A = this chain, B = another copy of it.
Amino acid sequence: MDDAAPALNTAPATVEEFRDRLALVSEGLPKRLRQCADHIAANADRIAVSTVAELAAGADVPPSALMRFCQIMGFSGFSEMQKLFREAYAPGWPDYSTRLKNLKDNGAGSPAALLAEFVEAGRLSLEALAKSVDEAALDAAVAVLARAETLHVVGLRRAFPVATYLTYVFEKMAVPAMLHDAVGRLDHRFALRPGDAMIAITFTPYSEETLQLAQDARERGLPVIGITDRLTSPLARHSDAVLTVPEVDFGAFRSLSATIALAISLAVAVGSARGGADDLRKPEEKALPAE
């Protein structure tokens, strides 16, 4: 009775392995179990969000049959199988609070260790950005900015580097842009002219001045593109298109990698939409001599 069950010592660890195992196993399966295999194969993506009962109903078998099927696939039960799919879908973010503690316990935060953490946080942020961009909003933003006259860029505190970077790239691409820093407490409110557009950037303790300026712009009828951290940001209210950046933070410190990536994409897209398509193709000759 030991080797009776055919070859199922180890559970699949990835979705690929799962599919392999499924193909392998479903050869000589009795009727009900084959129904399970077929339905699962056809609806693998719903495993993560279904209950045993639902899946069983779908395969038109009683729950216990599906249960047996899971075990034949090498899992201890349905829950374990489901876990695979739930995790595969959203690769769990490491939790930084414990990581931070470890780091602290070990090397008292040697600079190199710290750098490793920020590099990792940056990488995750970039990946998350790729996964979560709202393409429609991005397209809309580019369209708006491409047809505006001068572009007003505002962002203070943590967002200031992003604002300066945007302005820098616009300048290199010969797009008229104006940076609203707050030097000398001068707000250049009256520089906002009909036909212009604004890019406003602000993060968590949202800066009052930025919000204010965005609102001003809105009231003067300028379209406003918001770059912020959450859809629930107050900036969203004043914006015609909102781009959110899921920046993962390490301790109390939040990186900017993803935000910068989004900013340069936006700028280059706008620049090439305005300047004609070949701005991108041969940029080394036209637009941006590196620094």
Contacts and interface: CB of A to CB of B under 8 A. Distances in A.
A5 interface: no
Given A257-B260, A261-B255, A112 B135 contact: yes
Contact of A161 (B41, B45, B168): B168
B96 A89 contact: no
User: Chain A interface: which size bin?
Assistant: 35 or more
Given A161-B164, A164-B164, A93 B131 contact: yes
Interface of A: 19, 22-23, 26, 37-38, 41-42, 45-46, 48-50, 86, 88-91, 93-96, 99-100, 103-104, 106, 108-112, 114-119, 121-123, 126-127, 129-133, 135, 138-139, 141-142, 157-162, 164-165, 168-169, 183, 202-207, 229-232, 236-237, 246, 249, 251-258, 260-262, 264-266, 268-269, 272, 277, 280-281, 283-284, 287-291
26 contacts: A26-B232, A46-B89, A49-B86, A109-B277, A111-B142, A111-B265, A111-B266, A112-B138, A112-B139, A117-B265, A119-B126, A119-B261, A121-B261, A122-B258, A122-B260, A122-B261, A123-B123, A158-B291, A159-B291, A164-B164, A169-B253, A202-B291, A203-B290, A203-B291, A249-B290, A253-B268
